[in-house]
Amino acid sequence: MFDKLEAVVRRFEVLTERLADPTLYDRPQELRETNTERSNIEPLVIKFKEYQKLKTDIDGNKDIIHNEKDEEMREMAKEELTELEARMPGLEQELKLLLLPKDPNDDRNILLEIRAGAGGDEASIFVADVWRMYRQYFGTKGWNSEVVSLSEGDRGVKEIVVSVSGDKVYSRMKYESGVHRVQRVPDTEAQGRVHTSTITVAVMPEADEVDDVVLDMNEIRIDVYRSGGSGGQSVNTSDSAVRLTHMPSGIVIAMQDERSQLKNKTKAFKILKAKLYDLRIQEAHAKEAATRKGLVGTGDRSERIRTYNYPQGRISDHRINFTIYNLPNFMNGDVDEVIDALIAHNQAILLQGTEE
């Protein structure tokens, strides 16, 4: 472990020196990559320096205990040594966690897609509820969100796609992908019976404009057509709607939110790239799952991951058998307790793998 830590410190020093080179600012891409790498390893370097100082203090107190003639000084050193040594196991555990392999997509922004599943109007209403929940959560994190595509139903929302940007958005939101089940009495239920409905959530890291997804335009069919729905002001009197069909994967993206065909096409391509990149990630995770059982946040999009039980005020995450009775606060954006539990579970699995 300490060989790895020393190597990280050396790399941090190299990156720091590179940032001091004024010519680097003439190369924006390299500057961005250098800044990102340095900021990613800085917490580990800071923690290792804290560990080194603690170890130095422990050795200093041991030296006083063995060599100091003053009894009072030796007693003070013994008391301090006990306190210092009690901190060491926790610090070593923190270093191990910081050394775990990082998901290369953790720093990325995301496209969040929420769709109504089984349950008719109630599913659409729950899509709107979950979108409100996430929007409030994004606010607590200081993240920015922008609706890319919205399809409203008679009640609620059939489907919404949102672009979310901020600090390490994917690192936390990736655990939200899957089927979310709600159990409650719908507003449409006259006899007070509890219904079960489902929605699906997909969290896709945004693809890099240059490197991640190279589209072969020969594999994409582009159709333009007149927007439907209640348009007004020419929204449905011109061919502004766009449909992209990626023939190898069968992915279809239809976009008609904007009055401009160009804007609709730009948004459609953004979603298509994210979906293709996400497809590649899921394939890689499927191979990884064979060797790392128990990891979450990387699995099947059709997996039922969570139940929201309104009569009991209960949230249950089925992947790690984690339950809390805090539904009102959760639906108001207080979702960190569940996400933290999922992260801790993954870290435990990864740590177990490094110790085997």
pLDDT for 211 equals 59
Instruction: Give 60: exposed, middle or buried? Use CB within 10 Å, 0-12, 13-18, 19+.
Output: middle
Residues of 28-51 as b/e, b for ≥16 C-beta within 10 angstroms? eeeeeebeeebeebeebbebbeeb
The token duo for 338 is 């569940």
Amino acid at 133: M
- The 10 Å Cβ neighbour count of residue 179 is 19
CATH top class, domain 110-212+273-350: alpha beta
Nearest residue to 158 via CA among 195, 202, 114, 189: 114
pLDDT tens, N- to C-terminus, the chain (356 residues): 778 888 989 999 999 999 999 999 899 889 988 998 898 899 999 999 999 999 999 999 999 999 888 899 999 999 999 999 999 999 998 898 888 888 888 889 999 999 999 888 899 999 999 999 999 999 999 999 999 989 888 888 999 999 999 999 999 999 999 999 999 998 767 677 899 999 999 999 988 755 567 788 888 899 888 776 544 444 455 678 888 999 888 889 888 877 788 888 888 888 888 888 888 887 776 666 655 556 665 555 667 899 999 999 999 999 999 999 999 999 999 999 999 999 999 888 888 766 55
* pLDDT for 287: 65
The alpha carbon of 162 is separated from its chain's Cα centroid by a whole number of angstroms, namely 14
CA angle 40, 95, 45 (to 5 degrees): 45
- How far apart (Å, rounded) are the C-alpha atoms in residues 137 and 336? 9
Dist. CA 81–CA 58, nearest whole Å: 6
Helix ranges (DSSP H) in 68-120: 71-99
Pairing of strands 241-246, 178-184: unpaired
CATH assignment of 2-99? 1.20.58
Residues 325 and 304: their CA atoms lie apart, in Å, by: 19
Question: Domain locations in the chain?
Answer: 2-99, 110-212+273-350
What value, to the nearest 5°, has the Cα angle with vertex 212 and ends 19 and 244? 140
Verdict on whether the full-model pTM lies above 0.85: no
